[in-house]
Amino acid sequence: MLKTLLENGNCFKLVCGAGNEDAAEVEKLVTLYAKAGCRFFDLSAKEEVLEAAKRGLARAGAEDAFLCVSVGIKGDPHISKAQIDTEKCVGCGKCDEICPNNAIKYHKVKQIKCIGCGKCAKVCSKGAITYTSENIDLNIVLPPLIAKGIDCIELHAMGVDKDDIFSKWQTINKLYTGMLSICTSHGKISDETMIKRIKKMLECRTPYTTIVQADGFPMSGGRDDFKTTLQAVATAEIVQNERLPVYLMLSGGTNTKTAELARLCGIRFNGIAVGSYARKIVREQIDRTDFLENKYAFNQALEKAKTLVRSVALK
């Protein structure tokens, strides 16, 4: 059961990316990290992505693993997609260079690969990059995924539009009776508002059926140092101080240092979700079209993935 995995206190969750709709990449990531020992995966709420993840689990012989689909509200960076205004773009290539997901080629954004991390707009001096996101209808998106078999649904609840968050949370609660996850951070709202929001969302939940995923800076991972992971630990501490009947996970800027820093700070976490850093360290290998057949490339990536997964398990 997912509960047991969380109660062990060393659950590693691989975040493939709420906006990562590249099914081929997801299959590679899930195969690799399942082989490395990961048993919890976070996916975009798309049927083809869920199917790809299940193929990855079967390939790795890890059908005992758990799958979570992530949804967000309109405007949430996790489900936003970059677009380039060709009138303003001068073709400098800086966005292409910085994109962690290889989503930009020849000044065009490959939408299925874009995870809305925001890095490209920051380097564009011409203001040519903007972001869009759709207001998805959960009553249409979730039922087919639930029917196919999932173990958790995560709502990104860090936006300022609290009405939309509460309304989507109600819808999810009506549609699904299993484990839910609230991914939240204090980046755009105060600590007090974040806690109030979590408590309100927990009113309709029975104890220990909800994960609170304390997000430092969303999608900020990339470097493997204590500083990068500091905010995730700080957010987790705020949540932990409330002594809520939830499972606590850390995310957003997480890396191999997160578990160590969290333990040093007295955070009794149930797990750590790693996205940007987990994908970055194996990017060179997983971008190969023959990755799943090429034993050398696969094993190279596997060693790096194992080191990361083990960093959470070590106590």
In the complex, the residues that contact ligand SF4 under the rule CB under 6 A are: 82, 84, 89-95, 98-99, 101, 103-104, 107, 109, 114-120, 123-124, 126, 128-129
CB of 31 to ligand SF4, least distance (A): 22
Give residue 152's region: left, alpha or beta (phi > 0; psi -120 to 50): beta
- Secondary structure tally for the chain: helices H, strands E: 13, 12
Measure the CA angle with vertex 236, ends 249 and 262; round to 5°: 85
Q: Taking the complex as a whole, how short is the minimal distance between the CB of residue 49 and ligand SF4, in angstroms?
A: 16
Query: Of 94 and 280, which has the nearer Cβ to ligand SF4?
Result: 94
Specify the residue, 104 or 309, whose C-beta has the smaller distance to ligand SF4. Answer: 104
248 vs 273, beta carbon nearer ligand SF4:
273
Cβ 184 to ligand SF4 shortest distance, Å:
21
CB of 235 to ligand SF4, least distance (A): 22
Residue placing its CB nearer to ligand SF4 in the complex, 123 or 230? 123
Write the DSSP symbol of residue 159. Answer: S
Say whether 160 sits in a helix, a strand or coil: coil
Nearest distance from C-beta of residue 88 to ligand SF4, angstroms? 7
Q: Which residue, chain included where needed, has tokens 């991972």?
A: 221
Distance CA 231, CA 214 (A): 9
Q: Least CB distance from residue 127 to ligand SF4, whole Å?
A: 8
216/275 with CB nearer ligand SF4: 275
Contacts for 169 with CB less than 8 Å, ≥ 6 apart: 155, 157, 182, 201
Alpha helices in 100-161 (DSSP H): 119-123, 138-148
Residue type for position 71: V
105 or 268: CB nearest ligand SF4: 105
282 and 288 Cβ atoms separated by less than 8 Å: no
